Structure 1
Amino acid sequence: MDKLKRTYIQMISAIASNGYLKGFAEGSIYKGDLKKLCVPGLNCYSCPGALGSCPIGSLQAVMGSIKYNFSFYILGLLTLMGLAMGRLVCGWLCPFGLVQDLLSRIPSRKFAVKGSWSNFRYAKYAVLAVFVILLPFVLSDELGMSVPYFCKWICPAGTLEAGIPLLLMNEGLRGAAGCLFGWKSLLLLATIVSSVFIYRPFCRFVCPLGAIYAIFNPISLCRLEVDKSSCISCGKCEAVCKMGVKPQLQPNSPECIRCGDCIKKCPEGSIELIFIKKDR
């Protein structure tokens, strides 16, 4: 039931972020006042149903603008959500996280990311530093404008939520789709296929928004707490964690998405999800 509860909340969040039905009907993009606000998860601005802006896309747009090099609003919003929830956003509110979760339920042999392979989790920080911050900030044209490099060259969520729907609904755009769309479609296909065999590969290795929230995970108000006095170190929480976290040792690991699987599996009830750290 708890897994269904999380799925329902994920679906509600996805619908709330993409509730502009007119956009899907007409193949258009909503450009009203709500687009000035950022949604918590990764959700493409150009999705026909998107009511708000993606924080990563907004961050790049500001840094690549002739007018601004920095946005206290976006930084403040990301800091606020990070301090409040950490990667709970990834586990419960992100539409693209929901897509990966659903794909992982397709029956197949699952591969755990262990040993040296787990070091690839640091790649998302490199994506954040290079494609989201450095390139839009440094590379600009003669007018002082820059392109959103992550959105343009990497983000599979944009291809799934915006590129494919807009091409299907606008015949004129199909002829303009070239090598870039082919490249993005290949990345999307790779993400979809890998999500069937590896739990949330995009969240683990690529997502720059996940990297930002991961920084706040150890200090966020929403956190996992382990009662050491009742923990019997049975290892069941570690065995059930799909993100490769050891909850009994590092409950607030940057990789934890607060899915709650370890809480349900603990035979002693030693793990709980809290919103303010308790003094024991």
Structure 2
Amino acid sequence: MNFLHGKIFRGGLKAACVPGLNCYSCPAAAASCPIGALQAVIGSSRFQAAYYVAGFLILAGVLLGRAVCGFLCPFGWFQELLHKLPTRKFSTRRLHILTWLKYGVLALFVIVLPMTIVNEVGMGDPFFCKYLCPAGILEGGIPLAFADASIRASLGGLFTWKSCILLGVVTLAVFCYRPFCKWICPLGALYGLFNRVSVCRLEIDAVKCTACGACSQACRMDVEVFRTPNHSECIRCGDCAAACPHGAITRTFSLKTAQKTKETIT
């Protein structure tokens, strides 16, 4: 009902974080976004919440890696729906270098700027949420503006800028698979750092694998699965396992390290 009244839930549960990108200002949000929470207090050691959020992200990363992106992120799901629209689709393999951009966003907008540009009480602006995040304008900005006349009256250039970012992401998502996840999302960048060691992982049966490349062709995250099954871009969707004609790929939840592919695979 908060969508109808232009209100935000402010109960005690908001102190907790969900694993995916979930805007604090969304009328339906019962908990907080870890990226937003981290930015809010990272500039000062006075606030213990920064340690809690960092620990939460590390725990989620070690357990799930980017499986969070594949199954627990609302904005990732939104892009999935857009990509199902019946239009011509384009590969992003040639743009693979852009996947490094999200690490720059993580370092600059989530860590460096909120940590260095702070007010008198040691709190910085949530730079990523404020200037870049399209999930925020979709889940929070637009619904609140529709429902609250006072918010509509205060809209300015920043709202226009964020709306343009959202429009760009929405347009790209129709034609390209998960562009925000691939190129911009700092949460995906952070979880990607844990993909090689996460408990949720892909394993390749070296005996069954023939390096035919069917898995790589099926991967919409542009991963050479038979070579690097736990690449930082893998969201554990399982498309590669479904496409493998030999049943060599399995999605597991195990403390064991991933099996190595045969020495003949280069």
User: Shorter-chain TM-score category?
Assistant: over 0.9
Bigger fraction of residues in helix: 1
Shift in Å, 1:67:
3.4
1:84 has 2:74 as partner: no
**Could you tell me which of 92, 95, 103 is aligned with 1:125?**
103
The CA distance in 1 between the partners of 2:185 and 2:253, in whole Å, is 25
1:100 has 2:79 as partner: yes
The CA distance in 2 between the partners of 1:178 and 1:95, in whole Å, is 26
1:25 has 2:4 as partner: yes
SS at match of 1:112: coil
The CA distance in 2 between the partners of 1:197 and 1:87, in whole Å, is 22
Within 5 Å, which residues of 2 pair with 1:241-260? 241-260=219-238
**Could you tell me which of 108, 115, 126 is aligned with 1:148?**
126
After alignment, is 71-80 or 154-163 more displaced? 71-80
2:158 maps to 180
Q: Deviations over 1:222-280 (max 9, x none)?
A: 00000010112211111110000011100000000000001111111100000112787
1:189 maps to 167
Aligned partners of 1:69 and 1:137 also within 8 Å: no
1:9 maps to none
The one-letter amino acid paired with 1:86 is G
Aligned partners of 1:41 and 1:93 also within 8 Å: yes
The one-letter amino acid paired with 1:39 is V
Within 5 Å, which residues of 2 pair with 1:16-95? 22-64=1-43, 67-68=46-47, 71-95=50-74
Q: 1:238 and 1:279, CA in 2 relative to 1: closer, same or farther beyond 3 A?
A: closer
After alignment, is 128-137 or 57-66 more displaced? 57-66
Q: What is the CA RMSD across the aligned residues, in angstroms?
A: 1.5
SS at match of 1:249: coil
Q: Show structure 1 runs of 4+ deviating over 2 A.
A: 64-70, 141-145, 277-280
Shift in Å, 1:24:
1.7
The one-letter amino acid paired with 2:92 is V
Q: 1:238 and 1:231, CA in 2 relative to 1: closer, same or farther beyond 3 A?
A: same
The CA distance in 2 between the partners of 1:66 and 1:182, in whole Å, is 34
The CA distance in 1 between the partners of 2:103 and 2:89, in whole Å, is 25
Shift in Å, 1:142:
3.8
Aligned partners of 2:201 and 2:258 also within 8 Å: no
Q: Which structure 2 segments of 5+ residues have no match? A: 260-266
1:263 maps to 241
Aligned partners of 2:40 and 2:123 also within 8 Å: no
**Could you tell me which of 140, 144, 160 is aligned with 2:138?**
160
The CA distance in 2 between the partners of 1:46 and 1:242, in whole Å, is 31
1:134 has 2:112 as partner: yes
2:205 maps to 227
TM-score (norm 2): 0.93
The CA distance in 1 between the partners of 2:211 and 2:240, in whole Å, is 13
Shift in Å, 1:191:
0.3
SS at match of 1:68: coil
Aligned partners of 1:236 and 1:266 also within 8 Å: yes
TM-score (norm 1): 0.89
Q: 1:154 and 1:59, CA in 2 relative to 1: closer, same or farther beyond 3 A?
A: same
The one-letter amino acid paired with 2:15 is K
Q: Deviations over 1:37-65 (max 9, x none)?
A: 10010000000010000000000011145
2:148 maps to 170
Q: 1:228 and 1:27, CA in 2 relative to 1: closer, same or farther beyond 3 A?
A: same
Identity rate, percent: 51
